[in-house]
């Protein structure tokens, strides 16, 4: 059964939240980062990019300590404040496309992570887990919540809707044209009721944030060993999460771009494809797959539809049935020679929000030789793979919502 707890968030004052909140650092171009650091002294980017103060690029362990310094300065200057009571935080996002996401920011249990009550569907890289663990250990806080999902629960929905009748603590719109709302819930009776509802939910599923949750688990193990008076109630036994119902989850596909045909001529490649797929040349007609096990391919200025020959492909488990896995086992690995999907420099990924027009553009430019379009993974597929203890290929899902960093901060 899932355990979540309220916490005393460190968060920006109401007048600064729209200036402080930032997207994930990796989502900005270098020019965007520069302009925000130059023009907005309150941006959370100043904390995660502390070298800007010295006009110097700083990395590694030296950067970790400076991140902590910038964070403390924001607190000292009154840009951040900390809630006096442990709270849950109802968070709602209405994005530029009109999609709405509503959930609860809370602290989730690392013990649940270890016990597989919090289920994973994606592999992680050990070195990234370790680096992130050391980073968080030094800075002492989480500023970016792990996205967890659960089956829709009418009782929880009712509580959330009731809280949202009140004036939000925050209401701000970003330059990205997303509107964010936050309600602070610190009533003890309501907190208890929310916890009891989650305690009846058999499992939570990681939608986004596998490395963040894994590093939090490793950090808890480290700090437990270092603390002779460990009780299990310490803040390091939890990590900040944003819990949303499955119906609010929006999953996009990741399309695949490959730089060459692995030494094959176009006709050779098509003949080899014909062994596993029924192929139709669609010419210049924009083709996007509409069924599972159907794929779009763009090659040499033309679109193709690829329909899996089911008598040639055996499905033994939930992973075998996943389109990203089918593409890997039938094309990327045997024909194009791509075995390591994470590290092979010949393959890149384009999330589905960019659509196949982007795939067409970069291939026509000569940067890539062939591109493949897939359907998005469904929530049911994600859950089945997690339930069977399997892991998706990397870049199988691009999931929204994406929370802003710095709106709520969880300290260890």
pLDDT for 69-78, tens place per residue?
A: 999 999 999 9
pLDDT for the residue numbered 354: 84
Query: Can you tell me the mean pLDDT for 354-382?
Result: 95
Q: What is the architecture, at CATH level 2, of domain 254-375?
A: 2-Layer Sandwich (3.30)
pTM: 0.92
pLDDT for 295-306, tens place per residue?
A: 999 999 999 999
* Length of the chain counted residue by residue: 412
**Is the predicted pLDDT of residue 353 greater than 90, yes or no?**
no
CA distance 61 to 365: 40
Alpha helices in 140-288 (DSSP H): 154-163, 188-199, 210-226, 266-273
CA distance 203 to 394: 23
The DSSP bridge partners found for residue 285 are none
Query: Can you tell me the mean pLDDT for 313-322?
Result: 96
**Is the predicted pLDDT of residue 235 greater than 90, yes or no?**
yes
Contact 356, 288 (CB under 8 A): yes
CA angle at 398 for the pair 396 and 403, rounded to the nearest 5°: 145
pLDDT for the residue numbered 147: 98
pLDDT for the residue numbered 4: 98
Per DSSP, the residues of 306-337 read: EEE-GGG----STTTT-HHHHHIIIIITTTT-
Query: Cα dihedral sign for 405, 406, 407, 410?
Result: positive
pLDDT for 19-47, tens place per residue?
A: 999 998 888 899 999 999 999 999 999 99
**Is the predicted pLDDT of residue 57 greater than 90, yes or no?**
no
CA distance 93 to 195: 23
CA distance 403 to 395: 19
pLDDT for 118-167, tens place per residue?
A: 999 988 878 889 999 999 999 999 999 999 999 999 999 999 999 999 99
What tokens were used for 157? Answer: 């929905």
**In which residue ranges of the chain is CATH 3.30.1760 found?**
254-375
Per DSSP, the residues of 147-185 read: EEEE---HHHHHHHHHHTTSPPSEEEE-TTS-EEEEEEE
CA distance 142 to 361: 38
**Exposed / middle / buried, residue 307 (Cβ in 10 Å: 0-12, 13-18, 19+):** middle
How high does pLDDT run on average in the chain? 95
The owner of tokens 């391919």 is: 297
């Amino acid at each position: 059964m899932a355990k979540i707890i309220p916490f005393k968030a460190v968060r920006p004052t109401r007048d600064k939240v729209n200036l402080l909140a930032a997207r994930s650092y990796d989502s900005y171009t270098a020019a965007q980062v520069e302009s925000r650091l130059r023009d907005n002294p309150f941006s959370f980017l100043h904390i995660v990019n502390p070298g800007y103060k010295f006009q110097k690029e700083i990395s590694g362990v030296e950067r970790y300590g400076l991140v902590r310094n910038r964070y403390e300065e924001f607190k000292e200057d009154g840009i951040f404040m900390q809630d006096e009571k442990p709270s849950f935080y109802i968070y709602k996002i209405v994005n530029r496309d009109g999609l709405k996401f509503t959930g609860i920011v809370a602290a989730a249990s690392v013990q649940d992570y270890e016990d597989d009550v919090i289920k994973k569907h994606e592999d992680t890289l050990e070195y990234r887990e370790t680096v992130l663990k050391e980073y968080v250990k030094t800075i002492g806080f989480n500023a970016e919540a792990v996205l967890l999902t659960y089956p829709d629960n009418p009782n929880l929905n009712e509580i959330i809707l009731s809280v949202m009748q009140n004036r939000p603590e925050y209401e701000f719109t970003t330059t990205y044209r997303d509107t964010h709302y936050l309600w602070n819930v610190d009533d003890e009776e309501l907190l208890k009721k929310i916890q009891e509802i989650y305690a009846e939910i058999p499992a939570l599923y990681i939608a986004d944030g596998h490395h963040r949750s894994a590093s939090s688990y490793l950090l808890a193990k480290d700090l437990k060993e270092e603390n002779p008076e460990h009780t299990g109630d310490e803040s390091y036994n939890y990590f900040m999460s944003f819990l949303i119902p499955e119906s609010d989850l929006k999953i996009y596909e990741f399309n695949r771009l490959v730089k060459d045909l692995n030494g094959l001529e176009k006709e050779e490649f098509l003949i080899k494809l014909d062994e596993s797929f029924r192929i139709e040349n669609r010419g210049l007609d924009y083709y996007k797959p509409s069924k599972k096990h159907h794929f779009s391919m763009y090659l040499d200025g033309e679109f193709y539809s690829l329909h899996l020959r089911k008598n040639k492909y055996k499905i033994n488990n939930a992973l075998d049935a996943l389109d990203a896995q089918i593409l890997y086992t039938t094309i990327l690995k045997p024909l194009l020679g791509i075995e390591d999907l994470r590290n092979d420099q010949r393959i890149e990924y384009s999330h589905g929000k960019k659509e196949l027009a982007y795939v067409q553009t970069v291939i026509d430019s000569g940067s890539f030789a062939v591109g493949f379009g897939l359907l998005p993974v469904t929530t049911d597929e994600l859950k089945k793979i997690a339930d069977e203890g399997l892991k998706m290929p990397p870049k199988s899902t691009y999931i929204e919502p994406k929370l802003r960093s710095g709106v709520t901060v969880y300290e260890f």
